[in-house]
Structure 1
Amino acid sequence: MPPNERLRAALAAGGWTHATLAKEVEVDPKSVERWVNRGRTPRRATAVLAAETLGEDVHALWPALRQSRPARAVSPELVALHDQRADVPTSAFVDLLTQASEQIDVLVYAAVFLHEAYPRFNDLLRERAAAGCTIRIAIGDADSPNVQQRGKEEKFGHGIESRCRLALMHYRPLIDTPDIEVRTHGTTLYNSIYRADDQMFVNAHVWGVNAYGSPVWHLRRSEEGGGMFDTYADSFNAVWATAAPIEEH
């Protein structure tokens, strides 16, 4: 395979070597050498971490990763199951929330990938609110011991705290928008939840694994109710009740 010149340029621009990038993403330097000189494509989760480290788009560095693996449905409420969040394009999250007409709920620690990959994300939320949606956004409190512990468990250190503060910066312009409320929470986050009316993406959290490397299931609420969808919806409501509204200044 031909060398990966885009990756080579990104390394050079940031002053990275094969060894320093390998240490950051916890692989052998020979693996990075093969990515560059032989055009090898790393595992998706490793590629996402490497791209984030370099400040590059993962699909620009490794276009082959654009091809999402097929999801598989196994129950009436489970529309699709994806091995990891990195398999789900940001456009799928955007499309899900764009379809909402009544309710949008987002429960995360940071999920800054939404704003980074889709700069109009705040505009989308404003448009949905103007169309009659009630929107609730719960992000992690960077000073919470649970957030800080998650950083240690995922070997992300203070990075997750920084990303929570970055998420707050992204959402702060929305706090005076009618029908949009943003709060911070300090709960142990077992799952990230992205709800749009009767559909929902649930990003499971796995100990020691970053959220982008953990599974996502797409749920659709059954007419009977009382199933998995409602379990996660109730979980969101329980966290929301403990969350604190952010101040305007």
Structure 2
Amino acid sequence: MVYAIVELHDVSPFHREEVYSALEFLEKLGVEKFSLLLIPNFRGEYPINRYASFVSFVEKTQQEIILHGYTHTGKKRLKDILYTYGEGEFGESTLGETYDKLERAMDLVEAMQLNINVFVPPAWIGNPWLDDVLYSFGFLGVGYRGRVRNLQSGEDISSPALTFSNRYGLSYVSIKTIPLLFALFKKHPVLRLALHTADFRDRRKIALWRLILSQIKKERRLISYGELLSKSRPSPSFQGVQPAGGLV
């Protein structure tokens, strides 16, 4: 059996129109299972507790909600230039900054009574402390660019993520390369299809996602992050152990 996770990145009140378009697109395509990557306070200006109707709308989809950073903004770093430009929020965060951002994010999540236990950092960029801090907050897993890590067992599940760039120049390149990468990973056991809200401003990307997802539905079983993590059992050393915040 081969699997796929369909995920919509950058879900925020700021992108509400694109979110609506994306969900309508997925519904018309018959994609019945997908994950919504929620930004609690996009750019520090759109805290979800001020947009109760939007959060309610997201909840009513009855799809898995994933925490996607805190503000989704970070320092511009030359080494990340191919992946992002100022959105690698956790890339250079210290231990204290990492904890503070996650605490603020979880305060908003809890204020809206959302049940979230999986994290995907913006641009899939983490830092040396992120896994431990997430574990201390009770998260079960974290998704990086090429893998999903089970924080209870420490197991890495290989899982390439296909996505388009939405930056000038690289956007065109990604449109040309995504079909090639899709063919390259055709037999990979677990594949992630990372749609971004910005994709729904580009008809070319919408058309390609339609083709790719139509094929995915025929060839793979759609699952959530939670289902993927449940397939990897905790190791004996972790069984019965609750997050205790060892580092923080």
Same fold, TM-score > 0.5, yes or no: no
TM-score where L is the length of structure 2: 0.32
* Higher relative contact order structure (alpha carbons within 8 Å, sequence separation ≥ 6): 2
Greater share of helix = 1
Larger Cα Rg: Structure 1 or Structure 2?
A: 1
Question: Could you state the TM-score of these two structures normalised by the residue count of structure 1?
Answer: 0.32
